[in-house]
Amino acid sequence: MPSAPLPLLAAPISFGTDGWRGILGVDITLERLLPVAAAAAAELAHSAPAELDSRTVVIGFDRRFLAPEFAAAIAAAVRGVGLEPLLALEPLPTPAISWVVVTRKALGGLVITASHNPAEWLGLKIKGHFGGSVEADFTARVEQRLAAGAVTVPEVGETACFDGWSEYLTGLRSKIDVQALRHGLEEMDLAVIVDPMHGSAAGGLPALLGDVVQEIRSNRDPLFGGNPPEPLAPYLGELISTVKAATAAAKSAVGIVFDGDGDRIAAIDEQGRYCSTQLLMPLFIDHLARARKLPGKVVKTVSGSDLMQLVAEDLGREVLEMPVGFKYIASEMLSSEVLVGGEESGGVGFGMHLPERDAPFAALLLLEALVEGGKPLGVRLDELQNRCGGPSYYNRLDLRLKDMASRLRLEKQLAEAPPSEVAGVVVQEFVRTDGLKLRLGP
């Protein structure tokens, strides 16, 4: 007889670059989630500034399977550590929770989401009182609380709720003149097609801009149409074809896509070309520094393209390069004046807003930049690249090694004997800010 398959084993509870995530029903169960939520809430209270007079922890969730139910359940865990949970009425983009945390002066936020991961995943993000993701030392203390085995009993009770969409949209309107933006889009005759990938950012831009926005894949689908809700070109066939069709009908179009919890953005230009933040970040830098004349430096991760740096330097702005992970950008935004900070994976934050990735807000600024320039996205990006070094190309190839030993051997080899050339092109510089980045030359 064939042997029975081995049961799936839960991974240890460990926080990554932005939260704790895993397979629903294996790594993420209600039994495991309740103590994690309790430990996170207790640490939010313990780490709060002395002047913050609050006992409130804001709880949000995305559109994934069981996310609403788990969010309601962890309210009891928050009460169990003597704090007051405030629960969203409906799925919200993660940055909306951060906005509510700041405006209500709460201790922080807990968001049930797995962001851009596949449908079988779920997780928990922790937001600090400042409106951004907590740092690694905070999550290390949460893990220490769990390891210490402190027992807190969830407390059943009535949970106060809030209308997060209303508060968040009011906040965005305070930052962007949406009426002027809508008028500008109408004057350009620019079709705006938004793909929230069935995620929790659905409905936001139409609520702000009205019928100049057409939304696709806006219904809740916990399977996300069969692909991860990550704004990558292979998953955006419908958006690309819709943008091309709109352009072919003698009307220029732009496509905007959000990930599952609304903190990552990408775009499709009028020709159907995919535009990651490797291209959008330079446009944000140009618009905010040149047109809006806002102050501050540019912060990018080491994986960000050199085009970001070239555009920033062309406008006289300092550029700071950080390790991969938006938490490093957020930390810089909290300690100094930042114009814009972003990473290649789609997360962008703005000094005029929150120390947090906010894709709907980024989308409004993207559209504002197009209206200000009076030209469609592809034309703007081509002009920007020609001004600053010529065409820029980006591709991402993820290679999975067979085991951790293979990875360690590769890392050791690259550290001790990095290649002097790649495909016949000489390596000009080794950047070791995070991992190894090779800058090639002619």
Share of the chain above pLDDT 90, in %: 75
pLDDT band at 406 (very low <50, low <70, confident <90, very high): confident
CB-based contact 243:273 (threshold 8 Å) = no
**pLDDT for res 418:** 86
Angle CA 352–260–325, to nearest 5? 55
Q: Which of 184, 216, 202, 195 is nearest to 376 (CA)?
A: 184
| pLDDT value, residue 188 | 94
Judge whether 124 and 94 are in contact, CB under 8 Å.
no
Cβ atoms within 10 Å, residue 40: 31
Asked if 269 and 254 count as a contact pair (C-beta separation under 8 A), the reply is yes
**390/169: higher pLDDT:** 169
More confident residue, 413 or 116: 116
Architecture of domain 176-387: 3-Layer(aba) Sandwich (3.40)
Query: How far is Cα 399 from Cα 366, in angstroms, rounded to an integer?
Result: 32
7 or 104, which is more confident?
A: 104
Q: What is the pLDDT of residue 6?
A: 47
The 10s digit of each residue's pLDDT in 69-83 is 999 999 999 999 999
SS3 of 396-432: CCCCCCCCHHHHHHHHHHHHHCCCCEECCEEEEEEEC
Q: What is the pTM of this model?
A: 0.92
Q: Helix H segments across 237-322?
A: 237-248, 277-286, 306-314
Q: Please, are residues 37 and 124 in contact by the beta-carbon 8 Å criterion?
A: yes
Angle at 388 between CA 387 and CA 392, to 5 degrees: 110
| Residues 238-263 pLDDT 10s | 999 999 999 998 779 999 999 999 99
Q: List the strands of the sheet with 108-112, edge to edge.
A: 20-23, 121-128, 108-112, 56-61, 84-88, 160-162
Q: For the sheet with 425-431, list strands across it.
A: 421-422, 425-431, 437-440
d(CA 216, CA 93): 17
Q: Which residue has the higher pLDDT, 229 or 435?
A: 229
Distance CA 359, CA 103 (A): 19
Query: Looking at 261-329, which runs of residues are DSSP E strands?
Result: 265-268, 274-275, 297-301, 319-322
The single residue listed with the structure tokens 């294996």 is 26
The class that CATH gives domain 20-168 is alpha beta
pLDDT in tens, 125-162: 999 999 999 988 999 999 999 999 877 899 999 999 99
CA torsion angle 180 181 185 191 (round to 10): -140
**Tokens read off for 32:** 């495991």
- Tell me how far apart the terminal alpha carbons of the chain are, to the nearest angstrom: 62
Indicate the pairing of strand 297-301 with strand 338-342.
parallel
Query: Which of 3-17, 43-57, 319-333 is predicted most confidently?
Result: 43-57
Name the band, by pLDDT with cuts 50, 70 and 90, for residue 194: very high
Apex 83 CA angle, 162 and 102, nearest 5: 50
Domains 20-168 and 176-387 alike in fold: yes
Pick from 148, 170, 123, 181: which is nearest to 43 by CA?
A: 148
| Residues 360/92, Cβ–Cβ less than 8 Å | no
pLDDT at 3: 53
How open is the CA angle 94-95-101, to the nearest 5 degrees? 100
Alpha helices, H only, 20-87: 30-47, 67-80
Residue 397 structure tokens: 């190839």
- Of all residues in the chain, what percent carry a pLDDT higher than 70? 98
Question: What ranges do the domains of the chain cover?
Answer: 20-168, 176-387, 405-440
Q: Which residues touch 423 (CB under 8 Å, ≥6 apart)?
A: none
The span from the CA of 67 to the CA of 372, in Å, is 39
> Which of 210, 206, 209, 184 has its CA nearest to residue 291?
184
Q: How far apart are CA 283 and CA 262, in angstroms?
A: 20
Residue 352's closest CA among 367, 337, 342, 364?
337
Angle between helix 277-286 and 306-314 (nearest 10): 10
